[in-house]
Amino acid sequence: MAGKKYYPIMLDIENKNCLVIGGGNVALRKIRALLSCGASVSVISGDLCPELRELAKTGQPEWLSNKYNSEFITGIFLVIAATDDPELNKKIYEDCQYRNILINMVDKPELCGFILPAVYQEGDLTVSVSTSGKSPMMAKLIRDELKNNAEMLDIIGKIRGKTKQNREIIIGARGSKLAIKQAEIVINEIKKYMPEIAVNIKKIKTLGDKMPGIPLDEIKEEDVFTRELDNALLNNEIDLAVHSLKDLPRDLPRGLSVKIFPKKEDSRDVLVSRNKLSLNELPEGALIGTSSARRTERVKDLRPDLNFAPIRGNIDERIKKVEDGQYDATILAAAGLNRLGLQGKIAEYFEFPTAPGQGMLAIVTREE
């Protein structure tokens, strides 16, 4: 039995009667897993660990008794033997075998009729990892690593329904080079799982794009770069909208949801200057173009003698304004430069804290 392997299968345990014998932390983990899938859980133990005792006060799990006898497994769908008494676990195993009831023994994985894998659920997506009971910790570590791609997989699952009727996915994005590049990154991920599907980009001009000469702090709108894309989603003109996470407002319109795309780029801020001068090499009184109060304060701490002025435009336009002499330097996100292949323009990387979500992409979809 040393080389026993389990055939993976998904069980519907919603409202099924499941029994856990044992009241420690292992039993607690098993019970939580069962409850998360809608099972009706009972527990038998002389004592319960504090967290399990609090959970039992809610009625799920139901604390039946402090002592096991074979009658308790009558009408039970599956049983987990999680006691620290090997003889009792063996007795439970024999009772279940006699009645053809699924049994999991936490101390004897080679005798289990089933095992509980490490599970991650996101919407309709379920990711489970098993090491056939031999290394639960490894299974958990692998599960956690898979979480990094789970949200993208969930999005893929949701759009499959649409493609059954229409073999095209439309992604909305602003018209800048960076916005298009970010949309192309998402397209490449979709193509990994659905190579047969046509995926096209629809360029949409946002309020922020329509007012390039007005400083952002004067527009006073949180959704300055997202409103028109949100409306296109709600009107079924596009299927996904791709944004830099830091551009999203705190609240999305009702009917929309956001997924954080797991491929995070370098989150640091960087200096772009004429002749690639570092911050310390810039002359006294040099003019820095930035519309970010956060960036201004951080750089002022390092060079209080510098001057600052608002700057608007996409990455290429801001760099051109520096190269044309309108500014001596500007501060940009490394992520955008990396995605556009413009790393060679970076004069210096800053290590100070950056905007929340900088370097990350967000995919906005309709909730359905």
Rounded to the nearest 10 degrees, the angle between the axes of helix 315-323 and helix 177-193 is 140
Closest CA to 241 of 179, 287, 175, 172: 172
Q: Count the neighbouring beta carbons within 10 Å of the beta carbon of residue 27.
A: 24
Check if 247 is active-site.
yes
SS3 call for 273: strand
Question: What is the residue type of 187?
Answer: I
Token pair recorded at residue 314? 């996409």
Q: What order of strands is seen across the sheet that includes strand 62-65?
A: 62-65, 40-44, 17-21, 78-81, 102-105
Token pair recorded at residue 39? 């099972």
Contact 338, 265 (CB under 8 A): yes
Sorted by sequence, the CB contacts under 8 Å of residue 74 that are 6+ apart come out as 99
Q: Count the neighbouring beta carbons within 10 Å of the beta carbon of residue 200.
A: 12
Question: What is the residue type of 163?
Answer: T
Contact 159, 239 (CB under 8 A): yes
- Considering the candidates 95, 239, 247, 328, report the single residue annotated as catalytic: 247
How far apart are alpha carbons 231 and 367 in whole angstroms? 14
Enzyme catalytic residues: 247
